[in-house]
Amino acid sequence: MTLTFYSYPKCGTCRKAKAWLENQGKEFNEVHIVENPPSKEELKSLYEKSGLPLKKFFNTSGKKYRELGLKDKVNSASDEELLEILSSDGMLIKRPVTTDGTHVTVGFKEEHFEETWNK
């Protein structure tokens, strides 16, 4: 099973996650999340498969998130509006996003990767 790994090369968390995948011998296609952000439809699919609230897909510590004042909007906007915002800029998406087409992880916590990707 080949994973799709949406990441940003300058992101330390993405580098840790990538190293973990490599150390576990996982096959993955790396996608630069800023140059090739997932479309609104892809994000919707990832969101639905993740079982996470949509606001967990936002990079809340990012400069762009603060500049756009999304803190309040995330709590009041519809899923459609949030997916539109997320798909507009890869820097707004929490990274890395990893998927095998069935399972999805957002961010990197080693125990969560272990649980999800070492079945």
The contacts of residue 39 (CB under 8 Å, 6+ apart) are: 87
Instruction: Give 13-47 pLDDT, tens digit per residue.
Output: 999 999 999 999 999 999 999 999 999 999 999 99
The model's pTM is 0.95
Note whether 93 and 38 are within 8 A (CB): yes
Structural domains for the chain: 2-117 (3.40.30.10)
